[in-house]
Amino acid sequence: MATAVALETVTIDKPDDVNVIVGQAHFIKTVEDLYEALVGVGPHLRFGLAFCEASGDRLIRRTGNDELVTLAVGTAQAIGAGHCFVVVLRGGFPVNVLNPVKSVPEVCTVFCATANVVDVLVAVTDRGRGIVGVIDGAPPVGVEGDADVERRRVPAPGSRLQALIPPRVRRYRGEVRTNGPTRAARGAGQSKLTPADDQVSDRTGGDGTALSSARPTIAKME
């Protein structure tokens, strides 16, 4: 039998410096496993998380290491969808925690991970509530040009975007010089490469440009 469906929009009200992750999981142990995944990222990360049970006691389970727990609980209450979870965090970015979060066995999907203003679209039936999707931020206003591509590829020193790019990636792009000798600078009499030097020099040359990732055969000099 067909069931009527209504749609609600829940806007996540949060400070500008807070990132939010909204997802769906299952099982009461979700809270403990997500906590362990987030704590393992680093001591600098401050977060709160909440998880809506869909059966049994149907409580909002909560934990965290900061007053952000209150914000996570309030957001989960407003969404009110069974088995949804909300993580709010400071001192880190979603890119720092997404892989650990997605690796938690109970996690089924992640709807968004962002610092933007988010509207959560919730379907409502006689049975309950479920997340249909999210509106993350605002729509695009154009297509990037060549200058925009360059700024994206090589962010300005000290910018937030540069801080998000791991040093090994910036080294590969030529933004960071390698420490120690490169293949071009090695003398012909050197017998072998150290594992660390070999790994770095396979990515960049002496001028910081990218090289082939294939490992060369190094002949031992007698």
At CA 195, angle to CA 190 and CA 200, rounded to 5?
90
CA 196 centroid distance within chain:
27
Measure the CA–CA gap between 61 and 80, rounded to whole angstroms: 12
pLDDT at 150 over 90: no
Q: How far is CA 42 from the centre of its chain?
A: 14
Question: Is the pLDDT higher at 144 or at 156?
Answer: 144
Three-point CA angle 51, 7, 132, nearest 5°: 50
| pLDDT band at 169; cut points 50, 70, 90 | low
pLDDT > 90? residue 116: yes
Q: Confidence class of residue 216 from pLDDT cuts 50, 70 and 90? A: very low
Q: What are the chain's domains?
A: 6-136 (3.40.1520.10), 146-201 (no CATH)
Supply the pLDDT for residue 128. Answer: 95
Which residues face 133 on adjacent strands? 121
Inform me whether the pLDDT recorded for 1 exceeds 50.
yes
Asked if residue 167 has pLDDT above 80, the reply is no
Determine which helix (DSSP H) or strand (DSSP E) holds 36, and give its type and residue range: helix 30-39
First to last CA, the chain: 83
* Rounded mean pLDDT, 82-106: 96
Q: Is the pLDDT assigned to residue 13 strictly greater than 80?
A: yes
For residue 166, what pLDDT is reported? 59
Q: For residue 155, what is the DSSP state?
A: P
pLDDT for 213 beyond 80: no
State whether residue 6 is helix, strand or coil: strand
Least confident of 27-31, 135-139, 153-157, 189-193: 189-193
Helices (H), 40-164: 68-79, 94-102, 146-153, 160-164
Closest alpha carbon to 175 in 157, 161, 193: 157
**HSE, side-chain direction, 13 A CA sphere, residue 175:** 18
Averaged pLDDT, 194-200:
45
CA 111 to CA 185: how far, in whole Å?
Answer: 48
Rounded CA separation 65/72 (Å):
12
Spell 123-146 as b/e; 16+ CB within 10 A means b.
eeeeeebbbeebebeeeeeeeeee
Instruction: Quote the CA–CA distance of 25 and 52 in Å, as a whole number.
Output: 9
Q: Is the pLDDT of residue 139 over 60?
A: yes
Q: What is the dihedral of CA 157, 158, 162, 164, to 10 degrees?
A: 170
State what percent of residues in the chain have pLDDT above 90. Answer: 64
159 vs 28: which has the higher pLDDT: 28
Cα separation of 68 and 79, whole Å? 17
